[in-house]
Chain A
Amino acid sequence: MDKLDRLGWTAAVCFVCHGLRIGVRANTPKVLDQLLELLPPGAKPARGRRVQRLYSVIAGGAKRGPGIRRFNMLYVDEVRLVRSTEWERVRTALEMDLQLYVAEFARRRVFVHAGVVGWRGRAIVIPGRSLSGKTTLVRALVDAGATYQSDEYAVLDSRGRVHPYVTKMSLRDSTRAQPEKVHPETLDWEVGVRPLPIGLVVVTSHRSGARWRPRRLSAGRAVMELLAHTVSARWQPERALATLRLAIANAKVIKGTRGEAEEIADALLSAAADGGERVAASAV
């Protein structure tokens, strides 16, 4: 760390996010300004120099001559995370690592990898791995009238309520190799601002042509499904289990394979409104 500290750092920022003190420093102020937009939701500037995690970013700059490669570097504390001539790789890795760090070690919140929308004062939570179709379903539900809460994490407090976590969405389509990053507010979506109790949890994956015939899960199985997508499951299993149990205490949890998202959006909103009974009944 000493060697890294001796480099010429000209700009630094300290912020607090969900009880974690994090620092980012760069070799030029201009670079730091570019990085500030990558801070996770809920980050607030903080005073002081002591941090729990320090990111160090060196921008290599333009190529100066033949045979000279200017690397961009990203370090987490003293560990090098990225060494690349492509600046975008540093940005992506920093954004991803920041989000994961906060999600894993947040002091008073439990992060579940899930899409979330609000509907009539309750949240619909769609847990799932990447590429399971969360964003597509969130998009279909918002188009059907729901309020956007999150595309990445369901952030649960100690009472089991879901807080909004608004970041740029990764919209994938078959014509592009890389997903397009879009902020939900630029799509004129209604974005949630308050924490909501969970009304419905939808455990689903997409299969083309599949018929939506969900089944209800017991409370224990529901917690297991959410735990499978909980970032801090290994770090704080006790708190994760207790929070998840509270979160689903008054929620219906359904599981099934779905076809196209638009086909089930209305059914899910109806299910959320009447406590899941309609969807469950249709499954029988």
Chain B
Amino acid sequence: MNPARTLMPLARTEELVVEQLPDETLVYDLKRHKAHCLNHTSSLVWQHCDGRTTTAQVARLLEEKWGLPRDERIVAFALERLRRARLLADGTHAPGDGISTSRRELVRKLAAVGGLTMLLPVITSLKSPLAAAQASTTTSAQCNLCIGVGLPCSDRPGKVCTANTPTQGKCRCV
């Protein structure tokens, strides 16, 4: 890794709600209405996205805290996942650019050093649901607005609101 580019990028801070759990971090993206659950390793990497810490320092922290092999590729892998989840500030470079960070390769490496695959940086994401999707039934009027896809229709017995297709344009109860 190029020493000039080994500083950690900046974490995004705007329009996020962060809830810290003992080992994990929950992040809600107010802009995209997406929730992310960062496991312990990706959480630790994200906490050190301050533009000052080096990737080598974070790799050492991962080794000290979780017993992971001291490998900057693991940090780069986590940063790539964070970038995809849009949890890094816009315009900051990802130090992992150009480094092979395939998941399969890391799993193989971690498995080789004693079944540490559970420690792989993972981010679980969820698109926050619309309130109407939490109803027990929908109506044909709401179905027309593509709200309540998959719910049984209350005014057309036996029908279910079905997702739209490009040719139909709107959802409908079928």
Q: A-side interface residues toward B, CB under 8 Å?
A: 81-82, 84, 86, 89, 92-93, 96, 99-100, 103-104, 111, 113, 129-131, 152, 170, 177-179, 218-221, 223-224, 227-235, 237-238, 241-242, 245
A104 to B130, CA, bound (A): 10
Residues of A within 8 A of B114 (CB): none
Count residues on chain B whose CB falls below 8 Å from chain A CBs.
Answer: 36
A235 to B39, CA, bound (A): 25
Question: Shortest Cβ distance from B147 into chain A, in angstroms?
Answer: 10
- A229 CB contact (under 8 Å) in B22, B30, B129, B154: B129
Residues of A within 8 A of B33 (CB): 233-234
Taking a contact as CB atoms under 8 Å apart, the answer to whether A241 and B17 are in contact is: yes
Output the residue of B39, B130, B134, B155 with the most chain A CB within 10 A.
Answer: B134
Question: Shortest Cβ distance from A100 into chain B, in angstroms?
Answer: 6
Taking a contact as CB atoms under 8 Å apart, the answer to whether A227 and B126 are in contact is: yes
Residues of B within 8 A of A152 (CB): 136
* A227 and B137 contact, Cβ closer than 8 Å, known pairs A89-B154, A241-B19: no
Taking a contact as CB atoms under 8 Å apart, the answer to whether A177 and B129 are in contact is: no
The 10 closest A-B pairs by CB, nearest first: A220-B24, A177-B157, A177-B158, A220-B37, A113-B134, A237-B28, A104-B131, A241-B19, A92-B154, A89-B155
Taking a contact as CB atoms under 8 Å apart, the answer to whether B132 and A100 are in contact is: yes
B23 within 8 A of A: yes
Question: Shortest Cβ distance from A184 into chain B, in angstroms?
Answer: 15
Taking a contact as CB atoms under 8 Å apart, the answer to whether B39 and A220 are in contact is: yes
Residues of B within 8 A of A241 (CB): 17, 19, 26, 28, 35
A103 to B28, CA, bound (A): 20
B141 within 8 A of A: yes
Taking a contact as CB atoms under 8 Å apart, the answer to whether B136 and A228 are in contact is: no
- A130 CB contact (under 8 Å) in B35, B39, B152: B152
Residues of A within 8 A of B38 (CB): 220
